[in-house]
Structure formats: C-alpha cells, structure tokens
C-alpha cells in the first residue's frame, strides 16, 4: 500500500501542522512515513504545502509527482494544483472557494469532494483556525486510517490548551457528510 498525500493552502491555515499531525498518526500505527513541507517567504498569506508518502513497506521512492489524495484550502492552491485533480483518487476542496475561482476550476467529478470547512470553522467554532482540523478529520475519514483514536490522542497531546476545541473540529470533519456542489448552487 502506498499513499501520496498533498495538503495545500496559505500560510496561517495550519496546513503544515495538519500534515505533521497526520504523519505522526501514520507513524504511530507502524506505517513508513516521509513528510516534506514547503511555504513561501512570508509565514502568512503565501502558499503553503505539505506532502506525505505513506507505505506499509520501506519507502524507496521519494517521488511525489502525482498524489493519491489532494487537499486544497485556498484559491491559489486550486489554481496551482488544478492539473493534478484528474489523477487523484480523492481531491478535497473547501467549498468557500467555489465562488472565488474561475468556472474552469469548478470540477464536479466523483473524485472531488467539496466540503464546507471554512463555513463550519466560522459558524460553529467562531474562528478560521479550525479549518485545518476539520479538513484533516474529513481526510482521515476518506483514508480510513490512521484510526480516529490515534488522531484524537495526538491532537490532545499536541495542543493541551486547545485540546477540546481541536478535537471537536477534527470530529466534526470526520463525521462530515460528503457535499458536492453543482453548478446550480
């Protein structure tokens, strides 16, 4: 089994944090994990990306050309990585971007999951910072690994002061029903 996961957003959205947490979850469940991160010169507002390779056997190939799973949380992420969408098994996109992007980027293929992560973060948690945990919860559900128990324990250890809110956001994303946006919405 080989998974190649790419999470992309802008600085300040917690994309790298989510990627590191996911890598720890897989590692804790005895998978081989390789994780990289890339972000612009500004810590907030420029494109930010984290990539993971996850395998059950030793990782010999560090190529991350075509992700199996792609999470896009900003307009720049969608326009930059749009060409990868047809090749992924699952692409997750924050549906707040639907009205912000050109019509040519509004993909409604079966492998594209438009989720209301930003809307939930603002309306239910009162802060945009919950976006990364909501998206991560949804991704973990789609991956069917690492276990929700592993991830919740890691979240609690990572941020003891924010454990309750972050675990709620993760669970909310994990339990989120798949939402597809059609051109009529």
Q: Where are the beta strands (DSSP E) in the chain?
A: 2-10, 32-39, 47-55, 69-72, 90-94, 112-115
pLDDT band at 98 (very low <50, low <70, confident <90, very high): confident
Average pLDDT, the chain: 89
Residue 74 pLDDT: 93
pLDDT band at 109 (very low <50, low <70, confident <90, very high): confident
Model confidence pLDDT, tens digit, residues 124-183:
999 999 999 999 999 999 999 999 999 999 999 988 888 999 999 999 999 986 444 433
pLDDT band at 104 (very low <50, low <70, confident <90, very high): confident
Task: Report helix, strand or coil for 81.
Answer: helix
d(CA 73, CA 10): 8
Task: Report helix, strand or coil for 64.
Answer: coil
Q: Identify the CATH number of the domain defined by range 2-174.
A: 3.40.920.10
Average pLDDT for residues 93-120, to the nearest whole number? Answer: 86
d(CA 111, CA 34): 24
Average pLDDT for residues 53-81, to the nearest whole number? Answer: 94
Closest CA relative to residue 16, chosen from 2, 32, 36: 36
Query: Which pTM value belongs to this model?
Result: 0.91
Residue 61 pLDDT: 92
Residue 184 pLDDT: 29
Average pLDDT for residues 33-43, to the nearest whole number? Answer: 79
**Rounded to 5°, angle at Cα 20 from 10 and 162:** 80
Under a CB-based contact definition with an 8 Å cutoff, are residues 142 and 135 in contact? no
d(CA 90, CA 83): 14
């Amino acid at each position: 089994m080989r998974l190649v996961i790419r999470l992309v957003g802008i600085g300040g959205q917690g994309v790298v944090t989510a990627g590191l947490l996911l890598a720890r979850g897989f590692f804790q469940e005895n998978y081989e994990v390789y994780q990289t991160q890339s972000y612009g010169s500004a810590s907030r507002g420029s494109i930010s990306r984290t990539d993971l390779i996850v395998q059950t056997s030793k990782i010999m190939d560090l190529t991350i050309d075509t992700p199996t799973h792609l999470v896009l949380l900003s307009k720049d992420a969608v326009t930059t990585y749009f060409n990868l969408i047809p090749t992924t098994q699952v692409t997750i996109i924050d549906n707040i971007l639907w009205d912000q992007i050109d019509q040519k980027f509004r993909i409604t293929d079966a492998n594209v999951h438009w989720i209301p992560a930003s809307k939930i973060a603002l309306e239910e948690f009162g802060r945009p910072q919950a976006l990364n945990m909501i998206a991560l919860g949804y991704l973990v559900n789609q991956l069917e690994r690492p276990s929700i128990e592993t991830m919740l324990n890691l979240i609690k250890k990572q941020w003891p002061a924010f454990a309750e809110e972050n675990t709620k956001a993760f669970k909310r994303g994990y339990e989120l029903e798949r939402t597809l946006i059609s051109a009529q919405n």
